[in-house]
Each structure stands twice: as C-alpha cells, then as structure tokens.
C-alpha cells in the first residue's frame, strides 16, 4: 500500500515539499518561541490571508500578493511596536485582526468564498505543483543559508538583546531579517496546513522538544524530527483514510506532545517514589 502511494507524482511532491516546510517551520519556530512570539506566525498567516484575498480580488496570483502583504504587515507592526512601545501580544493582536478584516472585506467584494480561498484557509499540500515544489526548495535553501551565515548573531539577539547590542550586533537589523524570513516561511507553509493551523507547525513541535530539555541544538533536532514525522505520516494517513491532510498532521503533533507530557510526568512520579523508598 505505502509503495503504491509513493508511486504517484503528486504524493512524491507532497511528501518532499511537506518535509522541507516542516524543517523550515521548526527552525524558524524555535526562534519565535524563544522570543515569546509564539502567536506571531499565526498573526502573519492571517495577514497573508488578507493578502491572498486581495490578490484574488485584483486578479493577481494570490500567493505572491500574500508574500508581499505578510512581509509589509510584519515590518509595519514591528516598527510601530518599537516606536510606540506597544507590547508584543498587543501588536500580534492588531496584526491578526487586521489580516482577517482585510480578508473579509476582499472576499465580500469578490462575491464570496471560492476554492482558492478555501485551499488557502485549510491547506492543499496534495495539489502542490512541480513549480511550487522547486520554489519551496529554493526559498528554504536561501533562508537556511542566511541563518547559517548569521547564526551567532540571531541566536545571541534571541536570548539577550541588550547584551547583543553591547557586543556590537545590530539587533534591529537581525530582528527585521528574522521577521522577513518568518513572513516568507508562514506564507509558504500555508500550502501545507493552511492559515487556520499554521501556528501548530511553528509552536507544537518546538514546545514538545523543549519539554525534553536537550539544549538549543538538541531541541532543534528533536523539533525537526517531530515535525517531519508528523507531516509524512499525516499525509500518508490522510490519503489512505481520505481526510484533510492539515488536520491529520496537526493532530499527530498534538498526540506526540500529549505523549511526551504524560511520559515526563510519569517519570517524575516514579522518581519521587524511588526517593521516598
């Protein structure tokens, strides 16, 4: 059964692009989670949804408009937060609400929901084309090159911005660069899980990995492993059972999180019992 599924070109593209997106979301997600921007990816996704709706209204390829809209929105809201000293949660709430508002207005002007809008909301990984797959690979490669070149600066500014500034790191530029990459990652990942579930792929694998407490690199590796496993298994199960891939993928990540939490709690209880004996 599995080998028969892998024989289909669309499944090969889905598994390849999905795995790459999973890795990208895990890597970007860990920086957002550590910066306490866990919902920033969700806000960017809703903002990109507004861009996609605008693109449909204007008759432009929605994904490209979503990229531009998401990046501009993230930069503007970040600049506003810094200038007017708005808290991160408040800024994210403004970004999220703005994206949804624009999307609803554009959808209304376009005459209601369409297939393209629904695919953007809930993901359409099984419909990814060869061109989309190549673009995802190229974009992921470019982002990883930037992260590798500036890894020390990004990591340092993530853990301690003040000390990073004292050390001569241009923290503001690093922050804007991270936001730019996060925006590109979010819009790309919407093809996999859609706007409504995007935060799950950014946050849940990283939270699960952090519970295991294996240091930064160890956490990143565990997070990537969980995300890729969930994507591959989720796509295969969804095809066999004929259910939505996005929902199946997210449910798998949640199941792994619950399993790790239960196992960790059980280990602590057993350790306490051993100490009392």
DSSP string, 116-144: HHHHHHH--GGG--HHHHHHHHHHHHHHH
**Rounded distance between C-alpha atoms, residue 214 and residue 203, angstroms:** 17
pTM tops 0.75: yes
Render pLDDT for 13-45 as a digit per residue (tens, 0 to 9).
Answer: 888 988 999 999 999 989 888 887 777 777 777
The length of the chain is 277
Percent over 70 (pLDDT), the chain: 88
**Rounded distance between C-alpha atoms, residue 48 and residue 123, angstroms:** 13
Split into its structural domains, the chain has a count of 1
Q: Is 48 exposed, middle or buried (0-12, 13-18, 19+ CB in 10 A)?
A: buried
For the CA atoms of the chain, what is the radius of gyration?
20
**Rounded distance between C-alpha atoms, residue 27 and residue 44, angstroms:** 17
Render pLDDT for 231-259 as a digit per residue (tens, 0 to 9).
Answer: 999 988 988 888 888 888 889 999 999 99
Question: Per-residue pLDDT for 110 more than 80?
Answer: no
| CB distance 245 to 125 below 8 Å | yes
Count of CB atoms situated within 10 Å of the CB of 36 = 10
CATH number, domain at 37?
1.10.3470.10
Which two tokens mark 38? 């866990």
| CB distance 149 to 125 below 8 Å | no
59: containing domain: 2-276
């Amino acid at each position: 059964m599995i080998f028969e599924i892998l024989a289909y070109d669309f499944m090969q593209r889905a598994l390849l692009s999905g795995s790459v997106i999973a890795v990208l979301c895990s890597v970007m997600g860990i920086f957002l989670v550590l910066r306490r921007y866990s919902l920033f990816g969700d806000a960017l996704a809703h903002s990109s949804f507004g861009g996609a709706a605008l693109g449909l209204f204007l008759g432009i390829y929605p994904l490209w408009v979503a990229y531009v809209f998401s990046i501009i929105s993230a930069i503007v809201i970040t600049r506003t937060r810094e200038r007017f000293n708005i808290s991160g949660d408040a800024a994210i709430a403004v970004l999220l609400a703005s994206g949804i508002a624009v999307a609803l207005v554009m959808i209304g002007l376009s005459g209601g929901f369409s297939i393209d809008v629904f695919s953007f909301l809930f993901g359409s990984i099984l419909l990814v084309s060869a061109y989309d797959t190549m673009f995802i690979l190229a974009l992921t490669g470019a982002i990883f090159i930037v992260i590798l070149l500036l890894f020390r600066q990004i990591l340092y500014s993530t853990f301690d911005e003040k000390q990073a500034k004292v050390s001569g790191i241009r923290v503001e530029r690093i922050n804007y660069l991270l936001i730019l990459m996060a925006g590109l990652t979010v819009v790309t990942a919407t093809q996999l899980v859609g706007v409504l579930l995007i935060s799950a792929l950014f946050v849940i694998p990283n939270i699960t990995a952090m519970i295991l407490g294996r240091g930064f690199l160890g956490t990143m590796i565990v997070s990537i492993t969980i995300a890729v496993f969930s994507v591959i298994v989720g796509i295969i199960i969804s095809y066999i059972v004929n259910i939505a891939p996005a929902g199946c993928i997210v449910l798998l990540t949640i199941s792994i999180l619950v399993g790790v939490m239960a196992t960790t709690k059980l280990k602590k209880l057993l350790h306490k019992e051993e100490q009392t004996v």
